[in-house]
Amino acid sequence: EVRVLYGSQTGTAEEVAWDLVREGRKRGVLCADPAALNELTLQELGSLKFAVFVIATTGQGDPPVNMRRLWQDLVDATLSVTLLQGLSFAVFGLGDSHYREFNYAARKMHARLKRLGAKDFFRIGLGDDQHDFGLEQELDPWAEGLWAALAELRLTPPAAAPAPGAAACEDRRFDVEVLDAAPAPAEACPAPGAAGAGGFEA
């Protein structure tokens, strides 16, 4: 199962998380409903095998409110560097390059997860609201790469192969020859005025 977790201040990161879950399900990826990071404990995070983090940056590089509790737990200096060694993850950040701390929360999360032993199975994506096409300019190609990476990890079903002989059946051609109808025997045609020649009778 792939968990999609988010830190969202205005709701945009949560929307992106839901979009990823819906697309993942269409592609056959087993995805639970997305959840805010504050809904998980460190122990629950450490029990995950695959996770995708969608992280917005607020203020001067701050994490959103609905992930701050877990973030404070993650930056505890006494944590073991092997705490998250069983986790494979990917991060997509939502930011605005007009601000100096561009995507700071996402980049900090990415670095901290690796510091605690987690492995990134796909590159970090840094969405920029200043792009001509907004966040989608980075999100769309990043998401396609994400699905490809999950496919390599065998977390998406293989494409269905055509049934044996299906292609051959599609290309078959038939020759049709039209033959002149043979004349009916004389006794098969009732004479004019004979019973039944007038059509329906009750």
All structural domains of the chain, each given as residue ranges with its CATH number in brackets, are 2-152 (3.40.50.360)
At 161 the pLDDT is 40
Rounded to 5, what percent of the chain is helix, strand, coil? 35, 15, 50
At 26 the pLDDT is 97
- pLDDT digits over 156-175, tens only? 776 544 444 444 444 444 44
CB 87 within 8 A of CB 111: no
Per-residue pLDDT of the chain (202 residues; tens, 9 = 90+): 999 999 999 999 999 999 999 999 999 999 999 999 999 999 999 999 999 999 999 988 999 999 999 999 999 999 999 999 999 999 999 999 999 999 999 999 999 999 999 999 999 999 999 999 999 999 999 999 999 999 999 887 765 444 444 444 444 444 445 445 445 444 444 444 444 444 433 3
Long-range contacts of 74-81 (CB under 8 A, 24+ apart): 74/42, 74/109, 74/112, 74/113, 74/116, 75/112, 79/42, 79/116, 80/116, 80/117, 81/115, 81/116, 81/117
pTM: 0.77
Instruction: Give the integer Cα–Cα distance in Å for 177 and 180.
Output: 10
